[in-house]
A and B are shown apart, each in its own frame.
Chain A
Amino acid sequence: MTDPDADLLSRFRAGDEQAFVELVARHQMTMLRLAQSFVASRAIAEEVTQDAWLAALRGIGGFAGRSTFRTWLFAILANRARTTGMREQRTTPLESPEPAVDPARFGAGGMWTSPPVDWTDAAAERLDAQALATALQSALDGLPPRQRQVVLLRDVDGLSSEEVCEVLELSEANQRVLLHRGRSHLRTILEANFGAR
């Protein structure tokens, strides 16, 4: 796998402060959001993220490039945030399985009786783009923590499933279940808000 951060990383390792700041700019917001899914407050999330960057600086000599830089970095953060979250007694329980689509929308034979309502036209209209983004962001923020973590890394930040499994210490199968629940929920919200009946 080619590392999207390879250029900045080698400049940073050669002593370029600006390259380090660019790496921060690239990853800080994702890290902050990821941290927030583990801990209770924004302030604690900021603290954990800052600590993770310092740990990354101190540990960069040991980063051998066996994973991508962001995988290595996010794993440092996730470990710290998880530990902090546990200390706060803020455990994230296993979410109970829920269907992707309300079972009431299917007949006895499992065929649609209330088929998906189209909203993708609304998505194409520039007029609705901002409203869609706002609805989607709040739906994402409202997902159960483990689903939110996977959707954030896979779909917002664009990590591969292997990278996400490594960062969050999940099996491929569990990662995909969480991703599926999360995405299905987001689709439901978009349909409910923008579906043209």
Chain B
Amino acid sequence: MLLRLRRQPDLVCQQIVELVTDYLDGALARADRGRFERHLAGCPHCTAYLAQMRETIRLTGSLRVADLSPAMRADFGELYRRWRAEAT
């Protein structure tokens, strides 16, 4: 009985795709991490899926954040000086 409890069934692809974020965040329990990696070792599709999720994260991280316009910089300098005047 104990043995059966310890030997959990292998994960299937449809479960893997739901565990990717937990896996990347290091949030899987050690046993589940092992099951996840065992599945990946034998499944090129899920390996490709994980690579795509990593690439998605990388691309999202490289989305350009627009620069602050000179006019807005001036506005915030103004805000700062108003605050200084009010604070003293």
A→B interface (CB under 8 Å): 15, 17, 20-21, 24-25, 28-30, 50, 53-54, 57-58, 99-101, 103, 106, 109-112, 115-116, 118-120, 123, 132-133, 136-137, 140, 151, 155-158, 161, 172, 176, 179-180, 183-184, 186-187, 190-191
Closest residue to B48 on the A side, CB-wise?
A116
B21 close to A133 (CB less than 8 A): no
Once A and B bind, how many residue pairs between them come within 8 Å at the CB atom? 121
Q: Tell me if B52 and A21 are in contact (CB < 8 A).
A: no
Contact status of A110 and B52, CB under 8 A, knowing A133-B64, A180-B18: no
Residues of B near A184 (CB, < 8 A) are: 17, 20, 53
Interface string of B17-54 (1 = CB under 8 A from A): 11011100101000000000000000001101101110
- Inter-chain contact A53/B12, CB cutoff 8 Å: no
7 A-B pairs closest in CB distance: A110-B12, A180-B21, A110-B14, A115-B45, A155-B60, A57-B83, A25-B68
Q: Could you tell me the distance between the alpha carbons of A28 and B67 in the complex, rounded to whole angstroms?
A: 9
CB <8 Å contact, A115 and B48: yes
Q: Mark B55-88, 1 if CB is under 8 A from A, else 0.
A: 1110111111111100011001101110110000
User: Which residue of A20, A106, A187 has the most chain B CB atoms within 10 A of its CB atom?
Assistant: A187
Which of A101, A133, A191 is the one whose CB lies under 8 Å from B63?
A133
Interface residues of B, Cβ cutoff 8 Å to A: 12-15, 17-18, 20-22, 25, 27, 45-46, 48-49, 51-53, 55-57, 59-68, 72-73, 76-77, 79-81, 83-84
Cross-chain contact B53 with A187 (CB below 8 angstroms): yes
| Contact across chains for A161 and B25 when beta carbons are under 8 A apart | yes
Is the beta-carbon distance between B76 and A20 smaller than 8 angstroms?
A: yes
Given A17-B80, A106-B12, A110-B15, 16 more A-B residue pairs with CB atoms under 8 Å apart are A15-B84, A17-B77, A29-B65, A30-B65, A50-B79, A109-B12, A110-B12, A118-B48, A119-B52, A140-B63, A156-B61, A176-B25, A176-B27, A183-B57, A183-B60, A186-B60
CA of A186 to CA of B64, assembled, Å? 16
Contact between A100 and B59 (Cβ–Cβ < 8 Å)? no
Q: Are A156 and B48 in contact (CB under 8 A)?
A: no
Q: Which residue of the partner chain, among B52, B66, B77, B80, contacts A120 with CB atoms under 8 Å? A: B52
Give the chain B neighbours of A20 by CB distance below 8 A.
76-77, 80
**Which A residue's beta carbon lies closest to that of B65?**
A29
Q: Smallest CB-CB separation from B49: which chain A residue?
A: A116
